[in-house]
Structure 1
Amino acid sequence: MNVAVVFLVILDLLVVYGSHFRGGTVEFKYSLSWAHGRGHAPSWKAVNLKDNTTFNVGSGNYSVVANNSAENWERGEATFIYNFPTKGPYRIRFTGGAWISLGYGSGGSWNIQTIVDLNNRSDTHNPNYSPSTFSRAIYRVQYGCKIRIQIPVIDVDGDTVRCRWSTSTEAASISKLLPNAVLNEASSTFQKKCLIEFSAVPGSNYTLNKWYAVALTMDDYPRSTINIDGKVYTPKHSYYKCTFAGKFWGE
């Protein structure tokens, strides 16, 4: 008997810039998991955080790279490029209301997001790279046991990356829906290990043949005080974040 974990999205940002920069081009590479054969997805939207204008930046369509019809899931990947008119910052969001039925809590609406700011950092003299995370489509674990799943995180700028449970504002209805789970952030030299721990045992709100949602947010912190567009950021002040979500299957 086992439980499996499906993480829905991976979002990488590649920033292209010039010495006389007025706008910017960002390449987004993302990975999504969906119900089997239901690959039609909402569009990625951007919100200008200075004037709150909203606009589409790319479709949510993808090419399937893995699937399992018996477990009713498929995983796809795609890339899109968008030319931003200004340096931002912008909030890039992927939202919807067709989350799979869950064994714990309500899985109605969902939200995945990251922040794009094309202003240069004072330390690297380049725009900041948001933290990235890479995970399997499904993590299958033994039912009746204590579970430990480490989520890999990467930051191109070498910032300290910390993970935390997403708030309802960041992840909509799927925030904090993993019963009795604990987030362990034992640190290495510069990175905080994103380790999820929980007990998938009878009487702990885990049931066989049910899905369970998990939503995490990755925050990056500079290792020294820096300046971005006139704002000062310290090692205790997170400036960019990346939210991702997933689901568990028990059998």
Structure 2
Amino acid sequence: MLLFLLLLLVCSSQATHFFGTVMTYYPKTTSSDGSLMVVIRYKLSFRSCTDVDSWDCFTGSCGSQSAFELNIVDEENGREWCQREGIMTQQVLTNAPFEMRLEGGNWISNIVNGIIAWRALTLVELRNRSDTGQANRSPQTTILPAVRVPSNCRRDFNLLAFDPDGDEVKCRYGDALLSECNPCTPPSVLTLSSSCTLSFSPTTSSNLGPYAVQLVMEDFPRETITLIQTDGSQTMKTVNTSISKIPVQFVLQVDPAVPSCTEGLYLPKFLPPTPANRARLYTPVGQTLEIRIKAEAKNSTISELLFSGPYNVNQTRSGPEEFTLRWKPSESEDGESYPMCFVVQAVDNSVKYHSELRCVIVTVGNDTSSNTNATEQTPTTPPITTAVTTPATDLAVVRLTARISTLFPLTENDIRNTIMRQIKDALVEQGLPSQVDLVLVKIL
């Protein structure tokens, strides 16, 4: 009988605490040599604000990183989740497309649709478009780490799906064969339309719990266009071929039945002057945009506003049922469009209830329709510092004692080269990432 100790070194993001991610990108300046600067913004949602993970280059030439920051967007009062926004500035030598991937483990515990490890993929397409003469821009969206719905209530989640180039935006579930998730089993309690609406219908108590929602959002040209690369090569895109793609991943929590599904009783109901879902707002550079949000819930107590958007949006509570979001865009954000989403959360006897999901798109710049006091609008479709921080390489160190019984003597080399590899393979099968490290400490 052989007994030895191992240290299992796992990046801090390997616990069961992932709540999803979303990524968008903004092409910036092009140099005379053809190189291009692109700003990539992404959300990472975990149980804790100290958890981290990083996006890696998957295919193509992703360039070099010239700047990076990671800041808190919002944290649920009960510390159920924390969302942070990462901003990467990449300098790429050409405008050829490339892919970035996020991979690790694990999602939060007890995911009903069986998702354990996380994986997300972004296709960054920066080639010049024949219709605009500019680099392609990704669809713009964001999402909260978790949204709730009682099991006995119907609800539609109309995701924000805005494209600054005027493309048609479509949603689909991720595909494991395209390395977009691992695995990609959709939630059985949801139906998805290509126009990015997720519909939940009343279900039984056997379907309660959290579901991992792993979507891909793509932009399609409204007419045939040509994408032109720095080297002069060209690629045609028809109305049926997507240009770029971004991940939209989050948790759907199906809760026990509520006494009434009528909005305004237990479930918070939005009131004016809350902007309509998918409203498009404008604000000039350097001027503070105010978004006023009001809701009511007669049989529960409104506890907080949950928000996803740029990290430097300031949130204040102006009354028992009123909130204000304030954002002052900088010069570097001029001409860009930024997504913001929110829900109001109410509580009754420790049971949490969410309002419907609402999202707006804020375009920065001097526009004749600019209005810094946002009010309810009819949704439109497109042609439609804090200190810079570096993500820490936190390690969770786990002591693992293994007892091995063999019919033949084992040398230390046998243990290091064979046994440890078999243990690692078994751990990876259970959901740990392949980059996990095993260190032999002692043979007892």
TM-score after normalising by structure 1: 0.81
For the 8 Å contact 1:114–1:130, the answer to whether it is kept is no
Backbone CA RMSD of aligned residues: 2.7
Selected match of 1:183 from 185, 192, 215 = 192
Query: What residue in structure 2 maps to residue 13 of structure 1?
Result: 25
For the 8 Å contact 2:68–2:88, the answer to whether it is kept is no
- Within the alignment, does 1:139 sit opposite 2:147 as a pair? yes
What's the secondary structure of 2:239's corresponding residue?
A: coil
Tell me which amino acid in the other structure corresponds to 1:15.
P
Matches of residues 217-232 of structure 1 in structure 2 within 5 Å?
A: 217-229=216-228, 230-232=234-236
Tell me which amino acid in the other structure corresponds to 1:100.
I
* Runs of at least 5 residues in structure 1 that lack an aligned partner in the other structure: 1-5, 186-192
Between the aligned partners of 2:131 and 2:31, the Cα distance in structure 1 is 16
Between the aligned partners of 1:45 and 1:57, the Cα distance in structure 2 is 11
Residue 103 to residue 202, structure 1, CA distance change in 2 (3 Å): farther
Query: What residue in structure 2 maps to residue 3 of structure 1?
Result: none
For the 8 Å contact 1:45–1:93, the answer to whether it is kept is yes
* Runs of at least 5 residues in structure 2 that lack an aligned partner in the other structure: 1-17, 229-233, 256-444
Q: Deviations over 1:119-142 (max 9, x none)?
A: 211111111111121223432222
Residue 97 to residue 218, structure 1, CA distance change in 2 (3 Å): same
Tell me which amino acid in the other structure corresponds to 1:112.
A
For the 8 Å contact 2:156–2:199, the answer to whether it is kept is yes
TM-score after normalising by structure 2: 0.48
Query: What residue in structure 2 maps to residue 214 of structure 1?
Result: 213
Selected match of 1:118 from 126, 139, 142 = 126
- Within the alignment, does 1:233 sit opposite 2:237 as a pair? yes
Residue 241 to residue 58, structure 1, CA distance change in 2 (3 Å): farther
Aligned-pair identity (%): 25
For the 8 Å contact 1:200–1:206, the answer to whether it is kept is no
Q: Deviations over 1:55-86 (max 9, x none)?
A: 88599973222223635311112312111122
For the 8 Å contact 1:39–1:61, the answer to whether it is kept is no
Between the aligned partners of 1:70 and 1:206, the Cα distance in structure 2 is 24
Between the aligned partners of 1:154 and 1:28, the Cα distance in structure 2 is 17
For the 8 Å contact 1:110–1:171, the answer to whether it is kept is no
**Higher radius of gyration, 1 or 2:** 2
Matches of residues 75-94 of structure 1 in structure 2 within 5 Å?
A: 75-94=83-102
Deviation at 1:174, TM superposition (A): 4.9
For the 8 Å contact 2:181–2:214, the answer to whether it is kept is no
Between the aligned partners of 1:60 and 1:101, the Cα distance in structure 2 is 30
Query: What residue in structure 2 maps to residue 189 of structure 1?
Result: none
Deviation at 1:94, TM superposition (A): 1.7
Query: What residue in structure 2 maps to residue 29 of structure 1?
Result: 41
Tell me which amino acid in the other structure corresponds to 1:90.
F
Query: What residue in structure 1 maps to residue 57 of structure 2?
Result: 46
Residue 174 to residue 245, structure 1, CA distance change in 2 (3 Å): farther
Query: What residue in structure 1 maps to residue 286 of structure 2?
Result: none
